[in-house]
Homo-oligomer: A and B are copies of this chain.
Amino acid sequence: MPKFANDPKRTTWLSTPKDTDFPIQNIPFGVFLTRDDIITIGTRIGDYAIDLGALHQLGYFEGVALTDDIFLQDTLNDFIADGRKTWRAVRNRIAKIFDAENAELRDNADHRKTVLFTMDEIEMQLPVLIGDYTDFYASIEHATNVGTMFRGKENALMPNWLHLPVAYHGRSSSIIPSGIPIHRPQGQKLPAGAENPIFGPSRLVDFELEMAFITTAANTMGEPIPIEEAEEHIFGLVLMNDWSARDIQKWEYQPLGPFLAKNFATSISPWIVTLDALEPFRTESPKPKKELLPYLQFNGKKSFDINLEVAIQPKGKKETVVCHSNFKYMYWNMSQQLAHHTVNGCPVNSGDLLGSGTISGKTPDSYGSMLELTWRGEKPLKLNEGGDRKFVEDHDTIILRGFSKNKDVRIGFGEVSTKLLPVYKR
């Protein structure tokens, strides 16, 4: 039997769909409500959700150093705080339990009934209590596109952009898991040519295709994290849709950055795929265009090759995929982001979420937002069903998907799917 969770040769006794995002090599972590209305920490193989709290109570983690209640919690924060050694031991054990050759659980119908759920029996929750949420602006293509639209081609990138990973703090309270619908936000907008703003529904609601990583307790206040240690503090990644209201954003964002244009909703995929599971998909980062200060210089492959796509599904219609991008396009990688975030001593805790910013590629079909895809609405997108789109319309569902694949294995994220409802009525 293979020893490590990542071994591509391992097969499982669970029946899994061909090309699933969740083969036995993935073993992501999430939190779900079971058919008995109990919240538990779990993992997923194929289309089965696995109750890790129940598995632990049944003794399947014997020999792994874990507290009794580590999986019987509403969030993964404590488990994540236990550190990388524990995450690895648990993933390796789960792989072993579900290995095709291991009869222990496979041949115990009572136990299987207790720990296995089909996906339609459960309800995914937010996987972590997010203490702080930071969003970067790490794709040079996205920053250039947006900068060109807002400030013209000459001033597209601010002078600081090539020297540091620009970021801002976001709102934790409006981060929701996939499946929760949101309302079109209202706010102040300045009509073209007007002197005074008006109030009303945003007419330019947009998605942003992002990924985000979740940290463990990383440092004490005052202490920077050196770039070469950064990955030790990264638990895993999710897909993220950073909902944006472009008309509200344009009027409010000077001089302190986006606020109400962003904090009405941010959606994430519910399964955290560990950095360990993504190990086979390491790749080179884009070459820096300026020499970096030492604290941002790194060795080795710190980017990850993760295919990303966005689909729009109008109400009652088939979806249209409108964007294909890749996580590896990010100019600033996660190690640089975490090193920069803490270089001033800012403390990072277990369960913090650090978003990539919109991930756009070089070609127009790889742009990660409607703002860029339609170039501010000038070139509407043609959907296969449901008409054209300049921005997101009421009752549209936006679906982000992501996966890594090589000849041996596919490691995916599933999806984050969010429907936009009309303005909230009291």
Listed in ascending order, the chain A residues whose CB lies under 8 Å from chain B are 131-132, 137, 147, 150, 158-160, 163-164, 166-174, 176, 182-183, 185-188, 190, 196-199, 221-224, 245, 248, 251-260, 263-265, 290, 293-295, 340-341, 343-349, 352, 424, 426
Contact = CB atoms under 8 A, between A and B. Distances in A.
Contacts of A254: 158, 160
A424 B163 contact: no
18 contacts: A137-B256, A159-B190, A163-B188, A163-B196, A166-B255, A166-B256, A169-B171, A173-B221, A173-B352, A174-B346, A183-B345, A187-B343, A199-B294, A253-B255, A257-B258, A260-B341, A260-B343, A264-B346
A295 B424 CA distance: 15
Given A168-B168, A251-B160, A260-B344, A222 B182 contact: yes
Given A132-B172, A160-B251, A257 B257 contact: yes
B343 A197 contact: no
Contacts of A131: 131, 172-173
Given A169-B259, A344-B245, A424 B160 contact: no
A248 to B, nearest CB: 7
B132 A166 contact: no
Nearest to A202: B344
A15 B156 CA distance: 65
Nearest to A180: B221
B171 A132 contact: yes
Contact of A257 (B158, B221, B256): B256
A125 to B, nearest CB: 15
Given A187-B343, A199-B293, A256-B257, A424 B168 contact: no
A159 B264 CA distance: 23
A239 to B, nearest CB: 20
Copies of this chain, whole number:
2
Contacts of A424: 222-224, 345
A229 to B, nearest CB: 11
A258 B295 CA distance: 20
A151 to B, nearest CB: 8
Contacts of A166: 252, 255-256, 259
Contacts of A183: 222, 345
Contacts of A222: 182-183, 264, 424
A224 B346 contact: no
B221 A176 contact: yes
Contacts of A223: 424, 426
A126 to B, nearest CB: 12
Given A164-B188, A255-B158, A346 B169 contact: no
Contacts of A182: 221-222, 345
Contacts of A137: 256
Given A174-B221, A183-B222, A222-B182, A295 B344 contact: no
A91 to B, nearest CB: 27
Given A164-B252, A171-B346, A173-B349, 17 more contacts: A132-B171, A132-B173, A137-B256, A166-B256, A166-B259, A169-B169, A169-B259, A173-B347, A174-B221, A182-B345, A183-B345, A185-B344, A222-B424, A223-B426, A253-B256, A264-B344, A265-B345
